[in-house]
């Protein structure tokens, strides 16, 4: 019975993967969405109803494609046995490096997705599910960093750390899309420098030491 369930689950997943792959190919060849779901599915020799079993619209399909990218990235990280022992900084670095590797396979589609995006900080509709998953992932990293004091909790500011990391991710994606260096070496450097900077800002710095000293003097005046 269990094997039957697994087999039927796999079979059910196949149409959605086929549809997503065909959609990516269509928009890259034509530069725009198909004129209708009916025509798109007819070209696949599939019933229009099959599309709606998996996606409500082309926009919904695009969101699903992007959620797939981050899902694949996080799954790859957790398959690495050494990942659990990483510091928060190392985990964020690993996430960015792995995400870029995942996106490399679909760089042309990623470029297509961003071609009309002028202000990525406002979160394009196709990235909404992707963003929600990233924020959950980033918050986990931040919580670990706060527990180990690799990251310092600051009134009001620390609640916005996750939003800062989202902007950082948008910076990384846009940098990578414009990077023409061999093996995207410049993107690797940008990731390393931006992550180190963010953790320097979120970690204990001279300002925190001054505040602690001021508190000490006030309490012992």
Mean pLDDT by 10 residues, the chain (221 residues): 46 78 97 96 96 96 97 97 96 98 97 86 88 97 96 91 95 95 95 94 72 62 61
**SS3 label, residue 213:** helix
- Our separate counts of H helices and E strands in the chain read 10, 0
Whole-prediction pTM: 0.86
Q: What is the pLDDT of residue 209?
A: 59
Could you tell me which of 53, 49, 60 has the C-alpha nearest to residue 23?
60
55: CB partners within 8 A, 6+ apart: 16, 19, 61, 64
Q: What is the pLDDT of residue 11?
A: 42
Q: What is the pLDDT of residue 1?
A: 46
pLDDT at res. 204: 82
Which pLDDT score, from 0 to 100, does residue 206 have?
A: 55
- Quote the CA–CA distance of 34 and 90 in Å, as a whole number: 41
Would you say 40 and 26 are in contact if contact means Cβ atoms under 8 Å apart?
Answer: yes
Give the Cα separation of 56 and 173 in Å (integer): 27
Residue with tokens 């990280």: 77
Count other Cβ atoms within 10 Å, centred on residue 203. 15
Q: Which two tokens stand for residue 4?
A: 């039957």
Whole-number pLDDT of residue 198: 93
């Amino acid at each position: 019975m269990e094997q039957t369930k697994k087999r039927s689950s796999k079979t059910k997943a196949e149409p959605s993967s086929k549809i997503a792959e065909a959609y990516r190919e269509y928009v890259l060849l034509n530069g725009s969405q198909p004129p209708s779901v009916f025509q798109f599915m007819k070209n696949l020799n599939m019933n229009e109803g099959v599309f709606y079993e998996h996606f409500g619209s082309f926009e919904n399909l695009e969101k699903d494609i992007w959620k797939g990218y981050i899902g694949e990235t996080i799954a790859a990280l957790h398959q690495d046995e050494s990942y659990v022992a990483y510091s928060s900084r190392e985990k964020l670095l690993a996430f960015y490096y792995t995400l870029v590797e995942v996106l490399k396979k679909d760089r042309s589609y990623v470029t297509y997705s961003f071609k009309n995006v002028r202000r990525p900080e406002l979160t394009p509709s196709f990235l909404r599910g992707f963003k929600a998953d990233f924020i959950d992932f980033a918050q986990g990293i931040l919580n670990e960093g706060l527990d180990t004091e690799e990251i310092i909790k600051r009134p009001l500011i620390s609640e916005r750390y996750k939003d800062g990391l989202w902007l950082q991710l948008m910076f990384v994606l846009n940098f990578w899309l414009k990077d023409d260096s061999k093996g995207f070496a410049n993107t690797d450097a940008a990731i390393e420098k931006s992550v180190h900077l963010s953790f320097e800002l979120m970690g204990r710095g001279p300002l925190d030491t001054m505040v602690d000293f001021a508190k000490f003097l006030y309490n012992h005046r």
